[in-house]
Amino acid sequence: MNPKNAFGEGTLFDVTNHIYALFMTNVYFVLSNIICLFFFLALEPTFSNITIYFLSLIPTGPAITALFYSIGKLIREKELSPLHDFIHGYKINFKDTMKFWLPLLLVLYILIVDVHYFNSNLSMINNVLSVVFLIGIVLIMILSVNAFLIIAGYKFRLKDIWKLSVYYSFKKVKITFGNISIIIISLFLLSVTSKFLILFIASLICYSFLLNSKGLLEDVKQNFVDSQKNPS
């Protein structure tokens, strides 16, 4: 008997195992972001609600890291205990993530408020500043993807996380543009379907980021990480 045909082995089992792991991890991600998602889905997307949005996003950082940790393990090891691994990834990375996430949220909040002010008080210099700040927001979001990938897989000081994020954004240009494309496609799907779609695709987006960024993570591991200190 071909061992690949035995129960618990083979392509069909691998596929169903991946689908189950992705689905359940997505469920845990949604549950850990229930406050944020409630306001995102219930409130009108107006500037007057921006403070509520940002406060509700505070628990989202550790949840994103836990999602990256879980899906990363699934890709590496081809198996996952969704609840256990999600909670484990949440706990071991919580402190490092919050050190990164809270200042990031504050900076984004200030930049968005400034952009709104510039757009509300039209002048040549305000138009220029609005564009500059918008570019800053986009760049920060791009760098944040690399940062979450690194935090979820390895232990670095906060300043080193930012240095590595910037470094790999330029060293791995194809990966950077690939991640930008994933973000654009995800936003496009949300805009042409329903914002409720976010409840179902978080783990797929994360899976796409990790597959696209495999080369980046391998390079970090080979050049900057002592394998004995790798928490994964």
Print burial letters for 38-54: b (CB count within 10 Å at least 16), e (below 16).
Answer: eebeeeeeeeeeeeebb
For range 2-19, the mean pLDDT? 67
Radius of gyration of the chain (CA): 19
Residue 4 pLDDT greater than 50, yes or no: no
Residue 208 scores a pLDDT above 60: yes
Average pLDDT over residues 47-63: 92
One-letter identity of residue 121? N
Q: What is the pLDDT of residues 75-106, one digit of tens each?
A: 988 888 999 999 999 999 999 999 999 999 99
What is the average pLDDT across 66-82?
92
Closest CA to 57 of 123, 24, 5, 102: 102
Largest Cα–Cα separation, the chain: 77
pLDDT of residue 152: 94
Specify the pLDDT at position 48: 86
User: Per-residue pLDDT tens for 120-145?
Assistant: 887 889 889 889 999 999 899 999 99
Neighbours of 225 (CB within 10 A): 17
Q: Which residue has the higher pLDDT, 213 or 17?
A: 213
Q: How far apart are CA 196 and CA 219, in angstroms?
A: 36
pLDDT given for residue 194 in this prediction: 80
